[in-house]
Structure 1
Amino acid sequence: MTEYLLIALALLGVLILGGLGLVVPRLRRRPQPPLPETEVDTRAGQDLAGPPVEAPEADLATGILVEPPPVVEAPPAVEVPEPTAGRLVRLRSRLSRSQNAFGKGLLGLLSRDRLDEDTWEEIEDSLITADVGIDSTREIVDRLRERTRVLGTRTVDELRALLAAELVNALDPALDRSLRTAPSDGVPAVVLVVGVNGAGKTTTCGKIARVLVADGRSVLLGAADTFRAAAADQLETWGGRVGAETVRGPEAADPASVAFDAVKRGIDTGVDTVLIDTAGRLQNKVGLMDELGKVKRVVEKHGPIDETLLVLDATTGQNGLEQARVFTEVVNVTGVVLTKLDGTAKGGIVIAVQRKLGIPVKLVGLGEGKDDLAPFDPAQFVDALLGTEPLARDA
């Protein structure tokens, strides 16, 4: 009996100790008050989500998330320049100032009742003042005097025809004025554009690109004027308008290297013509002229240069002839681009350039518009200079 009692007490003690073991730990852990729901949400958003992100809109019918389409910028529209055929005729009104000072003045003198020595001297002075040049003027006046004496020409129309014939003859219509811009044996034609500072060379280079595109050529531009920060940007803008790529280098890069890369790129892409704009040179700076010669030599490692066009400002008059002569000695100029003929320029400078240099004027700029550069035609040019209005004979 005593043994059963001891066993019962032992079991009771075990149960009591086990119960205490379960209850005491719970009493030691005091529960923490819960955080407010809004505080938890705020901290979670700041720590994990970052700034709020708008979720893609869902299709109401299917519940599927729909991503908005990407925004694609439309490429700039490529312009189509107007054809160059007949462009000089369309721009003849731009020669009105030269016409008034040149053509009408000469026809007024020639239509006098009496063509004496004083009149012929006035005619000679008018031609010299119009920048025709002394040698060309004497030749034109001598031929006019002889023809009017032999033919007995007296009417204004007849005198105009004689004068026009002599002026066209002085412009040497037999000179080749075509631009050699066709590729040969897989190599594009290379056109080098040179000129002094201030002649509008980079702008003219862009207009030449438009002339070539208008005539069906694919063009690549080389921005070898690396000394003027805006030159490459300006050229690239001109090229972009007609879909022409521009190869450029960093500012103050070696111009010859940029020109070489442009031709190489032209070969790789298979364009018809590579047009290279060079830095404006002062003809009395020997170092700069030597550098221009280096550009020519480096480019010719790819093949011969097909055209070297000299940009001249027509308003500089006879001073432009010295510029042209020095450039010819360095890079063998094949053609002249005469700009600003619509302003205060005197039309006779065209005759003087060809008489002195034997280099044809191939393009003339008759305004500031993007398509105001026209292929030069002697007969059309003289016709525009002289005009067609009838002149009254002096009493």
Structure 2
Amino acid sequence: MEFLILAVVIAVVALAVTGGLLLSSRKKKRLPPAEAPPGQGGTITAPPREEEPRVGEESAPPVTEEEPRRTIEDVVLPGETTAPPAPEIETPEPAAGRLVRLRARLSRSQNTLGKGLLTLLSREHLDEDTWEEIEDTLLTADVGVAPTQELVERLRERVRVLGTRTPEDLRNLLREELLAVIGPDADRVVHTEGGVSTEGEERPAVVLVVGVNGTGKTTTTGKLARVLVADGKSVVLGAADTFRAAAAEQLQTWGSRVGARTVRGPEGGDPASVAYDAVKEGIAESADVVLVDTAGRLHTKTGLMDELGKVKRVVEKHGPVNEVLLVLDATTGQNGLVQARVFAEVVDVTGIVLTKLDGTAKGGIVVAVQRELGVPVKLVGLGEGADDLAPFEPEAFVDALIGQ
């Protein structure tokens, strides 16, 4: 009996010891030991966890080797702003010979006219029906009634006198007659010679860019700035289209690419005032040329057209305007002639810029608009690229038409 009681006591003591050891082990895992600070009693405190910052301190991500350390120059103080990087100044393509370089693009869109005429002229028998087809081809290409009749009569006479009609003879014949009707001797230079202002100061040349809505005036003005810069001219841009919110921003973007300053005014402000200030700025900077982009306006709106006349009169207080370039969309065809007549009456247009000539098979509009206004086509747009505005060269244009 005593032996049994002794065994039970031993078992209880063993269980108590084992439980104490287990509890001690768990406590050790839960709270790792830490050394007490020197000079203090044996009170042991657990260090704070690394992911929990101390009160009053901010956690910061560790600096990796790949991340560059900031220097004092990198620190931006409150209230300061970092200046945006200056735009890189581009070097435009030389203006001379651009139309030759773009001839392939022009010929792809205009081959209906040239190849159609060559095919008809190459027929074995040129009867009345064939000549009527030739006439229809020219009219469809927007050459215009009077120029078409003149061209057909000259072709008929020359074919009759020539007698033989080899492909090479016909090509040369058609080239000569198309050149004659386009006018190879017209003055197609954009005049950018400065002069003297009314105050006796050296004055830059002034070019007004006008046209109806949607013809691409602002883009054309920006591209023309590139043409002039490529020719070694310094340019100031006048954003006188104050009615279209994005026009001034768009023009300034074009100018910044070639280092040209843009003079702007408040949205909805007086366009004539902006144009005047642009010329004044051009005089102050001794610029070679001031390009003034005017607001697009409907040729049927008398008030808007009168305002355009006011812009020209105000600019002329500094001196005469050298060029008034009318921007026409080549795809509008004969409707563009109506627009051209009204603008010519208001501001005395001196030259035509035909845009989107690469997107139409109606290259005859070159002939029609010149005949209607007595004003030469001076520039043509042949694509969406920044350097796709080219000085108009009759020989290169005709060669593209007939695929030579």
Common fold, TM-score beyond 0.5?
yes
Query: Secondary structure of 2:210's partner?
Result: strand
Q: Which residue of 2 aligns with 1:208?
A: 224
Query: Secondary structure of 1:68's partner?
Result: helix
- 2:338 pairs with 1:327: no
Give the share of equivalent positions with the same residue, in percent.
71
Aligned mate of 2:190, from 142, 156, 179: 179
- What does residue range 1-395 of structure 1 map to in structure 2 within 5 Å? 67-68=72-73, 73-185=84-196, 186-388=202-404
Deviation of 1:96 after TM superposition, in Å, equals 3.1
Deviation of 1:236 after TM superposition, in Å, equals 0.3
| In 1, Cα distance between equivalents of 2:332 and 2:253 | 28
- Between the two proteins, the alignment pairs up a number of residues equal to 328
| In 1, Cα distance between equivalents of 2:149 and 2:337 | 19
Q: Deviations over 1:331-359 (max 9, x none)?
A: 00000000000112411000101111110
Judge conservation of contact 1:221–1:276 (CA < 8 Å) in 2.
Answer: yes
Q: Which residue of 2 aligns with 1:9?
A: none
| In 2, Cα distance between equivalents of 1:153 and 1:160 | 13
Deviates more, 1:211-220 or 1:176-185: 176-185
The amino acid across from 1:227 in the alignment is: F
The amino acid across from 1:122 in the alignment is: E
Deviation of 1:182 after TM superposition, in Å, equals 2.2
| In 2, Cα distance between equivalents of 1:108 and 1:94 | 21
Deviation of 1:315 after TM superposition, in Å, equals 0.1
Question: Scaled by the length of structure 2, what TM-score is found?
Answer: 0.79
Q: Deviations over 1:228-287 (max 9, x none)?
A: 000000000000000000000010000000000000010011100000000001000000
Query: Secondary structure of 1:227's partner?
Result: coil
| In 2, Cα distance between equivalents of 1:379 and 1:118 | 30
| In 1, Cα distance between equivalents of 2:91 and 2:301 | 39
Show structure 1 runs of 5+ residues with no match. 1-44, 55-65, 389-395
The amino acid across from 1:287 in the alignment is: G
Q: Deviations over 1:126-160 (max 9, x none)?
A: 00001000100000010011011111131111111
Judge conservation of contact 1:220–1:266 (CA < 8 Å) in 2.
Answer: yes
Question: Scaled by the length of structure 1, what TM-score is found?
Answer: 0.80
Deviates more, 1:341-350 or 1:214-223: 341-350
| In 2, Cα distance between equivalents of 1:342 and 1:361 | 15
Deviation of 1:99 after TM superposition, in Å, equals 2.8
Show structure 2 runs of 5+ residues with no match. 1-54, 61-70, 76-81, 197-201
The amino acid across from 1:94 in the alignment is: R
